[in-house]
Each structure stands twice: as structure tokens, then as C-alpha cells.
Amino acid sequence: MKKTDRRVIKSQQAIKKAILELMTEKNFDDITIMDISERANVNRGTIYLHYMDKYDLLDKLIEEHINELRELCQSAAEMTFKEGNYVWFEYFEKNHMFFSIMLTTKSAAHFRSRFLDLVVEEYKVELDSSEGTNKGLNDDIVLQFLGAAIIGSVEWWFKNGMPYPPRVMAEQTGAILDRNF
């Protein structure tokens, strides 16, 4: 496998950080490639070398985090909901800037939709509506309801300045999930 040049990695990190910082200051539609290049301290050509446009940049940034969350789910497959949630909440905390922007600004509705799809996809394998508290309920409705609740909890956590540590959030949301799966 070919090793990526450190300068390329450094440039891409600067570009990603720049767009996130700019999204805290203004609407995504108002951000230009020139704004991003100035903030990242790179030439416009460097941005176009890696991304088609600002939409491609944002899509790739979202995809990167969705894929990482998916990998965390796979690595947490044998864990309880509390343990698995802790892995997620640690990741959320570590990537605070990205998630707080994606979950608290109007500019990032696409991320919320992708995040909900991921949550529903991951919990679908856990749901058994033939018995227990969800007996007789429609799987799609239960999954959408719980997925929206999980995402709402994460949004609330970021909007309120992460008032509880990841461990507390994981334990509380995990206990609720344990009651429903």
C-alpha cells in the first residue's frame, strides 16, 4: 500500500479544519473556496487537487466520520449498549468540533440524515419485535423512533456544552437502549 505524503495529510487536515471553522462563522452556502484556502493557508489549487468543490469537501469529511462510526460499531459488536455507546461518546468528544457543527447548525442537515441512517442500520440487527417490550410493534417505526432519540441526545449534549462526561452519557443512553432491545 502506498504511503501518503505527510505534506498531503497536513494540507488536507488544514483544509478540513478551515471549513469547519468557517461553518461556525457563516452559512455553508456563503463560504467560498477562497475563504477556505485563506483560512487553511493553502493555494486554491491545493484544494482542487483533493476536492472537486466545497460540497465534495464536506461530503468527504462527513463520509470519513460516518465510516469511522461504522468501524466503531463493528469493533463494539460484542459489547453491551453501555460499552458500545461509550466508544461512540468518546469519539464524539474527541471530534467535538466536527460533531457540534454538524449537529447544531442548519448548514449540515445532510450529516444528520446520514447519521440517522447509520444508527438505524446498526440497531436493525439488534431489534426483535417478536418478543419483549417491542412485541407487535413495527420494526421501522421502532428503529426511526430510537434512532431519532439517540441523535437527539447527542445533539442536546453538544448544544449544552457536553454537560456530562462521555461515560455518563453512554451509561444513561445504554440503559435506555437495553430496555428496548
The fold adopted by the segment(s) 1-51 is Arc Repressor Mutant, subunit A (1.10.10)
Q: Are 96 and 24 in contact (CB under 8 A)?
A: no
pTM of the model: 0.83
Rg (CA), the chain: 18
Where are the chain's structural domains? 1-51, 56-180
The fold adopted by the segment(s) 56-180 is Tetracycline Repressor; domain 2 (1.10.357)
Please write the tens of the pLDDT for every residue from 9-68.
899 999 999 999 999 899 898 999 999 999 999 999 999 999 999 999 999 999 999 999
Please write the tens of the pLDDT for every residue from 136-167.
888 899 899 999 999 999 999 999 999 999 99
What DSSP string runs through 116-141?
A: HHHHHHHHHTT--TTSGGGTTS-HHH
Q: Are 85 and 7 in contact (CB under 8 A)?
A: no
Q: Which residue carries 483560512 as its cell?
A: 39
